[in-house]
Every structure is written in structure tokens, then in C-alpha cells.
Amino acid sequence: MKNLLLLLFAIALLGCKIGDKTEKEANAESKPNVLFIYVDDLRPELGIYGAKHIKSPNIDKLGRESSVFLSAFCNVPVCGASRASLLTGLRPARNRFLDYTTWAEEEAPGISTLPELFKNNGYTTISYGKTFHHTTDNKQAWDTIWSPNCPNYLTAENLKLNSVEGQRGLPYENADVPDNSYKDGKLAEKAIEKLLELKEDNKPFFMSVGFYKPHLAFNAPKKYWDMYDPEKINVLKAGFKPSNAPEEAFHNSGELKKYYAIPKEGFVNDTMAAKLVHGYSACVSYVDAQIGMVLDELKALGLEENTIIVLCGDHGWNLREHGMWNKQCNFETSLHTPLIVKMPGYKARKIDDIVEFVDVYPTLCDLAGLQKPVHLEGNTMSEIMKDPEAKSDGIAISKWFDGVTVISGNYFYTEWISDTDSIYARMLYDHNTDPVEMNNISESPELQNLIDSLSTIQREHRGKDFWIDISRSRAPVKF
């Protein structure tokens, strides 16, 4: 009898342990993980977006399994401000989220950021690479913060040029080195190691992996440059810009002009332009390969089935369109961004609805089953991901200092607004007839009713705190 009681006790104890483990595993599985992949300066110029000349097989594969938003737009076309806006769920204001120097915790104090919300709901939160522009911005949101420490340049030529005070190296590098010689290769390796650790921890996680390329300088291992034939690189005509657009629409490509061999005034020549386009393409393929390794490991570890994957750029980028390089303007090339969201159990498809980056925060709340904070200014995309018949509100708002753009249907309308909310310049493009924005039709008399309507929409959607004063200078940072 004694032995029988001991046996029953042992079975009950074992059952509790098994039950506890099962409950823990079930709890982890009930909370989907999030893998957030940020790619700096990534245009929607990828195979999955119809760009046949770009080699991006891993992002394309992810896209074939995901919701691919074909008409996604950033709210600010510069990295620091764009990331702060997306990760707080707040639109830029007159004096908030202006440029790359933005700190979210200073310009939106007291706001629960996206990673902070997940941390407060029991998630392990990890930031590897570049999530916020400043690594320690909103550091309380993360359990782990890490960024790779290695030089941007590797060749003797660029190391020598970059060593001169006040001077950078060339805006590109083609070095015959392994992938992990540059930051993004090291970042992918570290992310893979962390995924194995997270698998063993068996807790839900929110992991951001922020890749640095294709940001300038266009430095990538030689094998990625070799994927592209320099004789087949297409380069836009120098100075090709609309004559009837306001001067406020343009900048002098100052970010590029920090680099050696780039003229301080005027346009780069065709030879340099071709080298830059080649380098940008090589960097896209390089970062695509690193993303592929991380996604492959996620699948190999059995985590893919319970992980929401988000991949996005932080804004668009100009490759000589309108005579400009870099971002920092209100043309579509600076505002249009890739956005890919994979939700386990959802059918993959391409979505044409207009969405914007402030929609990402509420969407992840819905997909993960978390209560949305009251401060959010975007709309969830979860319904249009799930239901092909559902529609977004069809509006996106982007801002670069005084220029505020509303994207509605096929129209891109921008007003440059003074402190008194008066319009001192404007431009309008109809993408049905002018997809590359070469003919500003904002002064066409027959379109004034349309322009009035777009102006009203812009004011209604640009954010309730648009005139907030956080004592920031409105002058753009000089590059």
C-alpha cells in the first residue's frame, strides 16, 4: 500500500511538472513573437515590387509569404525622425520629429513606444543594430541593446582618405572581403546567435534587427558588386527636374557631398552617377543576403510559425531623380517605402491600399492581441491584411519641415506652410498621367476645387498636435 501511495504521488508530481511546462509553452505560443527588420535608406526597388534589375531573392521570398504593401509611405523622409514617428505611433508636428538628430524620448516624453509596449506585456525586447537613430534613445524599452563596432571603410585608399580631418572617403567601396567584415554581416551573425538563445528561453520576444545598408557610403563585399554588369547600369539624366516645381521642393544633395570626389556645387558626372547606382544596388543585394540568413535561422529553429515579421525601410531615396540624391524632400521617391508584414495564418498577397508608417504600431498591437495606447494617430492594417474586401482610409501624410504632403488616390499634393498656416508654395502631381512627377499642376485653374479638397484633407489628417511647441529650431540640419 505504501509503495502504491508513493507511486501515485510521483505520478501526480510528474503530472504537475509536465502541466507546468505545457502551460509555459502554451503561454509562449499564445503570444506571437515579433521580428522587426529595419533597413536604412531602402527604396521599394526590389524584385517583389517589380524591379527586375535588382537581385533581392530573400526579401522577395519573404514577400511571397506576406502582405506586401505597394503604396506605403513614411511620415518623415529622414531616418531619425521617421523612426521616432513609427515607433511612437505619432505623426510629425510643426516642431517635432524634424531631422536625423531626433530623440523620441525628448520630443515625445511619456509616450509608450512600440518596443516598450511589448516589454510591458511580458516580452523580451532586443534591439540589434539601428532601431532608433540614436542607440540609447528610449533605452528603457529594451532588455538588450547591441550594435556592431567595426570600421565603415576597409580598403587602404578609403582608410587614408577618411583619416584626413574634415574629410570622408569615397561614397562607395568594393572590397574583396567576407560578409562579416562590414557591420551588416556581423549584425546578421549576432542576430542568429540571439535567436538560438531566445528559442531556448521559450519566452515571447520582440526583436528589432536594424541593418545599415544601403545607406551611404555604398560599401559592400565585391561579390555583390559582381552581381551587376556596370555596362548595364541605367543612370538618369543629370539635372532632370521639373521646371515648374517650386524651389522649396529641391535640395543640394548635401548628404552625398560630404564624401570625397563629390563636387560641392553642381551635379556629379555620369561616371560617378553610374558608380553610385551600382554601389546602391550592390548594397541592397548585400543586405538582402544578411536578411536571408536571419530568416533561414528563424525557420530552422521552428520559430517562424509563431513569429510576426515586419520588414521596412525608414524612407525612400533619390538616385538622381529630379536631379537629387539622398532623401529629405517631398517627392514620391523620398516618401515611398517598402513595407512587408508576415502574419502566421494570413494569406500572402499584394495590397494596393495607401498606408503610412504610423499605421505599423496599431497593426502590431492588433496582430499580437495587445491593447492599443490612446495616443496612437495611425490606423490598423490588420483588417486589410486579413480581408481582401476591406479598405484603408486611403490617406497618407508626410512632412519635411514646412512642406506637408497628402497622398490620396493618384494625387500627391504638397503645401509649404508658414507659422501662420498660410501657403507660400505648393505642387500637385497626378500619378495616373505623371508617375515620375515632372509636371506640377497645382496652378491649373480647372483643378482648384480638387486642390481645395486635398488641402482640407491634409489639414484634417496631419495630426492633432501639429502646432505643438517643443522649442526646436525649424531650420533643417546642414549636411
Average pLDDT over residues 59-75: 98
Catalytically annotated residue among 74, 79, 329, 365: 79
Grid coordinates belonging to 201: 528561453
User: Given the DSSP bridges, would you call strands 205-211 and 124-129 parallel, antiparallel or unpaired?
Assistant: parallel
Catalytically annotated residue among 74, 133, 278, 312: 133
218: CATH: 3.40.720.10
Q: Determine the structural domain holding residue 147 and report its residue range.
A: 30-390
Is 366 part of any domain? yes
Q: How far is CA 255 from the centre of its chain?
A: 19
State pLDDT tens for residues 244-263.
Answer: 999 999 999 999 999 999 99
Is 444 part of any domain? no
Q: In the structure, what pLDDT confidence band is assigned to residue 463 with cuts at 50, 70 and 90?
A: confident
16 catalytic per annotation: no
* 358 phi and psi angles, rounded to 5 deg: -65, -10
CA distance linking residue 173 with residue 124, whole number of Å: 37
Is 423 part of any domain? no
Is 256 part of any domain? yes
Is 194 part of any domain? yes
336 catalytic per annotation: no
| Residue carrying C-alpha cell 499634393 | 413
State pLDDT tens for residues 29-64.
Answer: 579 999 999 999 999 999 999 999 999 999 999 999
Is 263 part of any domain? yes
Q: How many domains does the chain have?
A: 1
3 state SS of 174: strand
Taking alpha carbons only, the member of 216, 220, 434, 413 closest to residue 326 is 216
Residues with Cβ within 8 Å of 52's Cβ and at least 6 positions away in sequence, in order, are none
> Under a CB-based contact definition with an 8 Å cutoff, are residues 156 and 176 in contact?
no
pLDDT at 98 over 50: yes
Partners of residue 426 on adjacent β-strands: 415
Q: How far is CA 117 from the centre of its chain?
A: 19
Is 37 part of any domain? yes
CA 304 vs CA 152, 293, 307, 334, 364: distances in Å: 32, 13, 5, 32, 16
**Strands laid side by side in the 349-356 sheet:** 144-146, 124-129, 205-211, 33-39, 307-313, 336-342, 67-73, 349-356
Is 168 part of any domain? yes
Q: In the structure, what pLDDT confidence band is assigned to residue 365 with cuts at 50, 70 and 90?
A: very high
